[in-house]
Structure 1
Amino acid sequence: MGEDGIARRALLVTGAATALTVGSVSFAAAADGEQETRTVGGTLPTGSPDFVYVPVEVPAGVRELKVSYTYSRPSVPAGTAGNALDIGLFDERGTELGGEGFRGWSGGARTEFFVRADEATPGYVAGPVRPGTWHIALGPYTVAPQGLTYEITVTLTYGEPGRTARPVYPPSRARGRGRAWYRGDCHLHSWYSDGRRTPAEIAALARAAGLDFINTSEHNTHAGHGAWADVAGDDLLILLGEEITTRNGHVLAIGTDPGTFVDWRYRARDDRFGRFARRIRRTGGLVVPAHPHATCIGCAWKFGFGEADAVEVWNGPYTPDDEVALASWDATLVAAVRGGRGEWLPAMGNSDAHRDPDVVGLPQTVVLADDLTREAVQSGIRAGRSYLAESSAVSLAFTATGGKGRQAGIGERLAVDADTPVTVRLSVTGAPGCTVRFVTDEGVLFTSGPLPESGAGVAEWHTTPAYAAYVRAEVRHAAAAPPLPGPLAALTNPVFLGRG
């Protein structure tokens, strides 16, 4: 085993962030059917760069490249981060930011992987193993005070390369019901990243949850895009995307063109996020920061919201960090109306389901779209014509009416004079025992009593645009620890009041 200390590495500046490289792994060509194995190791100290690249010199005639790795996991004091080492692969086209040479990423979900022309480990891109300098990418997510000692084993198998199949992607249209409310979950993980479910299992759970559309969002890889065609159908639209998992927050690419990869190897200080947000949009996708106030390491969103099309304010079962995300989002609405800006940031809710017992569709975003197509659903999300619900059992109808019968719905504006009387009305089904609240730029200005056991009810409130520049609705379960509010059962995007 070769051993490289930190002092023997060369420091490379890649244009986005610093990275370290270790001494290369070399192989001599061998006959068809033979294998060669090399092992290399080293120790990374605390404060290591985000990425460490291990060059692998691949000769001609290789059929398969296989990598396995281990690393030390010493005991650490309570409250101190232990070791966690992610892994991925770049081919002979290089490691430049943008990912031309990207061949896969499994993060910390797997201890080994392989690539060859006809097949690859989930999360990795099948294709020929061409000669040249490949790179194993290590991501020291956290490093214990004792350091992180790793060992990587690379095995090459020689022989005819085989054939790479042309991927088949799910259609961008399902049958739909014309202009209607469609339910979706746009944050899901399969075994193509760190999930434990197959695409078929996720699709079955989505159908059981009453969803009309889902979005694939594997961490830092697009390799699973071709795995969803067989499970799509007239009743389920499958959008393709990615969860770009940086060290300064995660962002969902929702509904990008098939085969689109978005790089994640940068921090906020590198001033690179705008470039990749534009890539998401150029390939037809939406940019949606995920769980912006989550407490996991590297999850807190630090790139700002100037590039966002929407924001995920509810992620999985409702928790205090969702409450913080909700309050932060509401502050952006206040800033938008008081600054006289027409643009605002819609809210989304998604499950982030990985494995049992995670519930697909808890929560879900319910979108008013012209049809069940990629473009129509994205248009509804972007316009904020949507509400969030904990399940398909919960349905809302939310309107504001005033000024000679004018009416506006979720995400719309009721353009009436400042002193015009306005009636705000919410109809709810599927929320027994829940309380309705109307929230404005001045805070919570209306609260109803609990809904009956049937879960159905109507709440009305009268106001004017001078008193409330927008109104949004919350449906909440009973509070477990008053005066803190109970968890959400549903949430609407706002209706704006006044001429703006």
Structure 2
Amino acid sequence: MTPFHALPVHLRALVLTLPSLALLGCGSSAPAPTPFEPQTDAVCVPGGDTLAFTGTVARSDAKQYRLQPFDVAPGTTRIELAYGWQESAGLPATPLTGTTLDLGLYDQRGIRDGFRGWSGSRQGRLDQGQPPVFIQADAAERGYMPGAIESGLWHAELGVAAVSPQGAEWRLEIRCSGEATAGSAAPDPVNATHIARGEPGWYHGDLHMHAFHSQPNGPSWEDFIAQSRAAGLDFLMVTEYVTGQHWKTLGSVARAHPDLLIVPGREIITYFGHANTHGETPGLYEYRQGFEDVSLGDIQKKARAMGALFQISHPTFFPPPLFENLCRGCFFQLGDEIDWDAVDTIEVLTGPVITQAEDAGLPLPLPVGIENPFMQSAIDLWEEKLLAGHRITAVSGSDSKGVEAEAVRDRVGYGSSATAVQLDALSRDALFAALRAGRAYIRTRGVDDSPELRMTATAGNQSVTFGGTLATAIATLRTEVLGGEGQQLRYYANGRRMRSVAVNSDPFVHEITINDLADAGPLGTFWRVETADLRARTTIGNPVFLKPRADGTNPPQ
């Protein structure tokens, strides 16, 4: 079964149109297997026998981490791991009910500090005839970190992402060898102070991009850059799954493309929600929410202390319980674990804004494209947090792993949507400051196929744009739409649609009077705009805030 996270985002959304799947494989009365028990006294010797471990997982083991210890003998220079599983007897599993086990590796430094890689369920699968994952001093499988192989107690990790009703049997194989290697390469990180372009202006980026380390067939770095340029992107947020190996190697890529801003980060895959951290956080590779005392809140705190942005990813994707085996941890359930005041950005659009059956090549009952079914619920969550006083910037991300077919690249690849950010210069410091300030809007169909927005709120001698606050109870909101003729301009206040007007020219300029409302939250009343055509939204703007002074005085109108 193809791992769900390896499918394109548009195909994931299309699963919503297959309700019949929910009826398959349910209601099994097969007995639960015996829970996982680690096997001990295993020594991995260079050139020795392959270590083989077997066991079972039950439904009650889901969303937990199981560690298999093994000793690495002196003289080992390479370790290989392969694993697989099969469903126990019972009704056939479906994408909505099947088992998924993830693979990770920890070295002799221990199960907290010894992270050496994670590949989810994508690689090293015995049950799919894949080659093992490997790690050695000078090279490693995608998602894993090369480096010296020290003798001592190592651990293979089986993440029990999901388990079918009847349970599953698993097998893990580990082999050690002592062949000579070429030594370790020196780290070559991106220069975090690089200024790609010194001019102020609107720049575009994708805040959820997977590349070389996120799948076995991920694009080369040059192809990653070529696809990003084709989408008109200026800043590239490289959020590989869990690992940080790209933090150490993207320097040469950045130097070869000095006009682009490359920001390495990672996607933190927990079984209760996903988050992106933008920016390197050396030594912070944790992702195992609920393992011992690990919490996403602690990961968030540490990441931000290192200067990274913290982003909630696709927060309303595939809600449980129906979809929790299909998209493990995609739906965000950790709101009580994190500090919402320390959330910088939230992904309100993930993947293409239009879902089309033709993209997946499936004969599904979608004669025309429909709006991404998870976008409105994500916007609702964002606006709920704004009303509660949490200043969070709405962004979008493709969640793409790269595509090869030119015919679908514009729609489902990098930059299928783009976040436009107003910057003083194209640098990491300027980008992070602007995103935290909310000086951004989303172009849902990418740079080439979405309108441009300009918005200014004015009261007396005060004037702000996206993300700004006016100390007043009333203001004039001026919006300019470029390239949106024939669409609608919509106004929202505190999450409610207040007005819609036809965009009947290009450029189109419209002004309304906005005011503070009785249901304002701690941030004040927030007003925002978006554009839409008959099928879906085409832009989504971050708001301006009206917050009258406590003494009741306001600027002259």
Bin the TM-score by the shorter chain.
0.7 to 0.9
User: 5 Å matches for 1:356-367?
Assistant: 356=403, 357=408, 358-367=412-421
2:76 counterpart residue number: 62
Candidates 282, 298, 301, aligned match of 2:329: 298
1:395 counterpart residue number: 452
Residue identity opposite 2:491 in structure 1: F
Using the TM superposition, give the Cα deviation of residue 73 of structure 1 relative to its aligned residue in structure 2, in angstroms.
4.4
Candidates 351, 360, 368, aligned match of 1:316: 351
Candidates 272, 286, 306, aligned match of 1:283: 306
Using the TM superposition, give the Cα deviation of residue 360 of structure 1 relative to its aligned residue in structure 2, in angstroms.
0.8
Candidates 467, 472, 480, aligned match of 2:528: 472
2:204 counterpart residue number: 183
8 Å CA contact 1:25, 1:40 repeated in 2:
no
Please give the per-residue CA displacement for 1:205-257, whole angstroms capped at 9, x wherever unaligned.
Answer: 11121111111111111122234223322211111111001111000001234
8 Å CA contact 1:84, 1:140 repeated in 2:
yes
2:361 counterpart residue number: none
8 Å CA contact 1:61, 1:160 repeated in 2:
no
Please give the per-residue CA displacement for 1:250-288, whole angstroms capped at 9, x wherever unaligned.
Answer: 00001234x453311114996722211111112210111
SS at match of 1:320: coil
8 Å CA contact 2:237, 2:265 repeated in 1:
yes
Residue 488 (1) aligns with residue 537 (2): yes
8 Å CA contact 2:93, 2:164 repeated in 1:
no
Please give the per-residue CA displacement for 1:76-116, whole angstroms capped at 9, x wherever unaligned.
Answer: 366851121110100011112xxx10000000111221000
2:169 counterpart residue number: 149
The separation in 2 between residues aligned to 1:260 and 1:396, in whole angstroms, is: 40
Number of residue pairs aligned between Structure 1 and Structure 2: 458
SS at match of 1:274: helix
8 Å CA contact 1:23, 1:55 repeated in 2:
yes
8 Å CA contact 2:73, 2:151 repeated in 1:
yes
1:234 counterpart residue number: 258
Question: Could you list the runs of 5+ residues in structure 1 that have no partner in the other structure?
Answer: 10-20, 337-342, 480-486
Using the TM superposition, give the Cα deviation of residue 204 of structure 1 relative to its aligned residue in structure 2, in angstroms.
1.3
1:12 counterpart residue number: none
The separation in 2 between residues aligned to 1:174 and 1:78, in whole angstroms, is: 49
The separation in 2 between residues aligned to 1:428 and 1:113, in whole angstroms, is: 50
Moved over 6 A (4+): none
The separation in 2 between residues aligned to 1:156 and 1:316, in whole angstroms, is: 41
8 Å CA contact 2:348, 2:382 repeated in 1:
yes
1:263 counterpart residue number: 286
The separation in 2 between residues aligned to 1:240 and 1:346, in whole angstroms, is: 20
8 Å CA contact 2:380, 2:495 repeated in 1:
no
The separation in 1 between residues aligned to 2:153 and 2:483, in whole angstroms, is: 58
Greater CA drift, 192-201 or 290-299: 192-201
8 Å CA contact 1:256, 1:286 repeated in 2:
no
Candidates 54, 58, 62, aligned match of 1:41: 54
The separation in 1 between residues aligned to 2:123 and 2:44, in whole angstroms, is: 24
8 Å CA contact 2:87, 2:166 repeated in 1:
no
The separation in 2 between residues aligned to 1:8 and 1:265, in whole angstroms, is: 17
SS at match of 1:218: strand
Using the TM superposition, give the Cα deviation of residue 145 of structure 1 relative to its aligned residue in structure 2, in angstroms.
2.5
Candidates 219, 242, 251, aligned match of 1:220: 242
Percent identity, aligned pairs only? 29
8 Å CA contact 2:476, 2:512 repeated in 1:
yes
2:15 counterpart residue number: none
Residue 92 (1) aligns with residue 123 (2): no
Greater CA drift, 264-273 or 228-237: 264-273
Candidates 21, 36, 40, aligned match of 1:23: 40
The separation in 2 between residues aligned to 1:227 and 1:70, in whole angstroms, is: 30
Using the TM superposition, give the Cα deviation of residue 466 of structure 1 relative to its aligned residue in structure 2, in angstroms.
5.2
Residue identity opposite 2:509 in structure 1: V
Greater CA drift, 208-217 or 170-179: 170-179
Distance 1:466 1:321, change over 3 A: closer
Which has the higher relative contact order, 1 or 2, with Cα contacts under 8 A spaced 6 or more apart?
Answer: 2
Candidates 118, 141, 144, aligned match of 1:105: 118
The separation in 1 between residues aligned to 2:292 and 2:437, in whole angstroms, is: 30
Residue identity opposite 1:138 in structure 2: L
8 Å CA contact 2:35, 2:58 repeated in 1:
no
Please give the per-residue CA displacement for 1:47-70, whole angstroms capped at 9, x wherever unaligned.
Answer: 115111111211000111111122
Using the TM superposition, give the Cα deviation of residue 179 of structure 1 relative to its aligned residue in structure 2, in angstroms.
2.6
The separation in 2 between residues aligned to 1:477 and 1:399, in whole angstroms, is: 23
TM-score by length of 1: 0.86
Bigger share in helix = 2
2:139 counterpart residue number: 119
1:415 counterpart residue number: 471
TM-score by length of 2: 0.77
The separation in 1 between residues aligned to 2:49 and 2:163, in whole angstroms, is: 31
8 Å CA contact 2:227, 2:402 repeated in 1:
no
Distance 1:383 1:432, change over 3 A: same
Distance 1:260 1:493, change over 3 A: farther
SS at match of 1:353: coil
Question: Could you list the runs of 5+ residues in structure 2 that have no partner in the other structure?
Answer: 1-32, 125-131, 319-326, 354-371, 550-557
Using the TM superposition, give the Cα deviation of residue 423 of structure 1 relative to its aligned residue in structure 2, in angstroms.
2.0
Please give the per-residue CA displacement for 1:280-328, whole angstroms capped at 9, x wherever unaligned.
Answer: 1122101111011010331121222343122111111121211101012
8 Å CA contact 1:246, 1:265 repeated in 2:
yes
Residue identity opposite 2:510 in structure 1: A
Distance 1:311 1:24, change over 3 A: farther
SS at match of 1:448: strand
Using the TM superposition, give the Cα deviation of residue 198 of structure 1 relative to its aligned residue in structure 2, in angstroms.
2.5
Greater CA drift, 118-127 or 317-326: 317-326
Using the TM superposition, give the Cα deviation of residue 197 of structure 1 relative to its aligned residue in structure 2, in angstroms.
2.2
Please give the per-residue CA displacement for 1:8-57, whole angstroms capped at 9, x wherever unaligned.
Answer: 82xxxxxxxxxxx33353234x5xxx454222222222211511111121
RMSD: 2.4
8 Å CA contact 1:248, 1:267 repeated in 2:
no
Distance 1:226 1:388, change over 3 A: same
The separation in 2 between residues aligned to 1:64 and 1:432, in whole angstroms, is: 61
The separation in 2 between residues aligned to 1:77 and 1:379, in whole angstroms, is: 47
Distance 1:324 1:38, change over 3 A: same
2:394 counterpart residue number: 347
Distance 1:243 1:26, change over 3 A: same
The separation in 1 between residues aligned to 2:346 and 2:500, in whole angstroms, is: 25
Residue identity opposite 1:26 in structure 2: V
